[in-house]
Chains A and B, each alone.
Chain A
Amino acid sequence: MEPAVVDAGSGILKFNHALPEYGPEVIPTQMKQVPEDESSTDASLLENVIVDPVVRGFIRDWDAMEDLLSHVLYTGLGWEIGNEGQILFTDPLATPKAVREQLVQMMFEKFNISGFFASEQAVLSLYAVGRISGCTVDIGHGKMDIASVIEGAVQHISSRRFEIGGLDLTNLFAQELRKSNPLVNFSISDVEKLKERYASCAEDDAAYQKIQQACPEEQHTLPDGQVIKIGRERYTVGEALFQPSILGLELHGIVEQLVRCISTVSSENHRQLLENTVLCGGSASMTGFEDRFQKEASLSSSAIRPCLVKPPEYMPDNLSKYSAWVGGAILAKVVFPQNQHVTKADYDETGPSIVHRKCF
């Protein structure tokens, strides 16, 4: 049986057997808590509580995560109780040791799997494009990571994690839309879909300024029938990553952050890192984001310009959204057959701390 690869993000969970050509199955990570007692038949009392097992990239609600994973593994992938296979997880940057250990513990004790491996998302995204060194800019739903990887090892000193992500962009979009359409009620899931459809990046700073003054407006009909106008708000969302002051944060734009992170690495590696930059994550597939990134990169203050890597032709087109999963599938094909993973026997002998020794 093929090992399973799971990439649990704050917004969507990607899972499938380790078949890189096929890409992952995708389900939202958000869960609704169903009240246990069925005696209350009064519908108005049933409050649907939304539970987020993964917050800002890290697993926070372990019971919810367990329920989600049993659905994914037993129902989604067709595992049978008593015959569980091997699984590879992806970790975001700077995952606390306790979180990793708790995940290993849950997998071996509750799910009784036969083999486990965990790897950092930055390394996996690079494997997906066929590199072992380079830097990744991973813009996810709950967090943004800028990581530099040399020969498969993340350089933690020069990697940074930001607590902004697609979620904050959605909130910004909702805020802007409410300002220009004051009579319309939005729900967050509607705004999320609108953002995915309409958000784009202006070509450069000057173009953005022009758009702020005058922008063609588009009409859009919401599922409940209300009609809204979307104009320059869509560009505001795209601009927020390059000028975080729009989100109210005192940070430099994304390209500047990348250059600063790389500058803390010894200079012999600079070229290798900057010329192999990978953009991944859902928000990085915004219209115009790559072009804007390239443009900002050519204006950046470093001697070596960041260059984006082109994914190999045999990879599917929307690779940047799922590159961590695809890299995980590639790694799973190497690690499990060679027995470099954590086996049940290893776990029984050493305990959860074995994940720090064997998985990196």
Chain B
Amino acid sequence: MSWQTYVDEHLMCDIEGHAGLRLSSAAIMGHDGSIWAQSSAFPALKPDEITGIQTDFNEPGHLAPTGLFIAGTKYMVIQGEPNAVIRGKKGSGGITIKKTGQAMVFGLYEEPVTPGQCNMVVERLADYLIDQGL
């Protein structure tokens, strides 16, 4: 399985029970920010944004005062899981980022996808990767 297949079939898939409902974009990248695979609409992250995300995983609470920036768009940091998950919200949409052993899984969603559904999709794949040692 190539990384692109992971993104296309397991992140950009229909959310179970709701045909036609899916994340707006997703990606899997390494800890250093190198893109392993991404969906077509995934925005290009700037290097300092990637550094900010890495620092927040290592020191939880780093991004909360300033906000999480993705390609210049500001997301408000909400409750995540320290050293594991970063969650951000922007209006009725948002983002979930989960860190695995060697990668970070990103999922961005818009209305009518709910934060809970985005979490389920992103974290399920990330947990699978963690189990596989990736």
Contact = CB atoms under 8 A, between A and B. Distances in A.
Contact of A155 (B17, B64, B114, B116): B64
Interface range on chain A (Cβ under 8 Å from partner)? 10 to 19
B76 A151 contact: yes
A358 B65 contact: no
B68 to A, nearest CB: 13
A197 interface: no
Interface string A22-54: 000000000000000000000000000000000
Interface in B41-82: 61, 64-67, 76, 78-79, 81
A46 B117 CA distance: 53
Given A151-B89, A266-B65, A340-B116, A357 B123 contact: yes
A266 B67 contact: yes
Contacts of A153: 76, 78-79, 89
A332 to B, nearest CB: 15
A360 B117 CA distance: 12
At the interface, is chain A mostly helix, strand, loop or mixed?
Answer: loop
A104 to B, nearest CB: 14
Interface residues of B, number: 18
A263 to B, nearest CB: 11
Contact of A150 (B17, B65, B76): B76
Contacts of A266: 65-67
B83 interface: no
Nearest to A155: B64
Interface string B114-134: 111001100100000000000
Interface string A309-353: 000000000000000000000000000001110000000000000
Given A151-B89, A340-B114, A357-B116, A156 B79 contact: yes
A245 B83 CA distance: 38
A264 B120 CA distance: 31
A154 interface: yes
A339 B16 CA distance: 12
Contact of A157 (B61, B119, B120): B61
A161 interface: no
Interface string A145-169: 0000011011111000000000000
Contacts of B79: 153-154, 156, 360
A356 interface: yes
Interface of A: 150-151, 153-157, 264-266, 338-340, 356-360
Given A339-B17, A340-B114, 13 more contacts: A153-B76, A153-B89, A154-B79, A156-B64, A157-B64, A264-B65, A266-B65, A266-B66, A356-B81, A357-B116, A357-B120, A360-B78, A360-B79
23 contacts: A150-B76, A151-B89, A153-B76, A153-B78, A153-B79, A155-B64, A156-B64, A157-B61, A157-B64, A157-B65, A264-B65, A265-B65, A338-B114, A339-B17, A340-B114, A356-B81, A357-B116, A357-B123, A358-B116, A358-B119, A360-B78, A360-B79, A360-B115
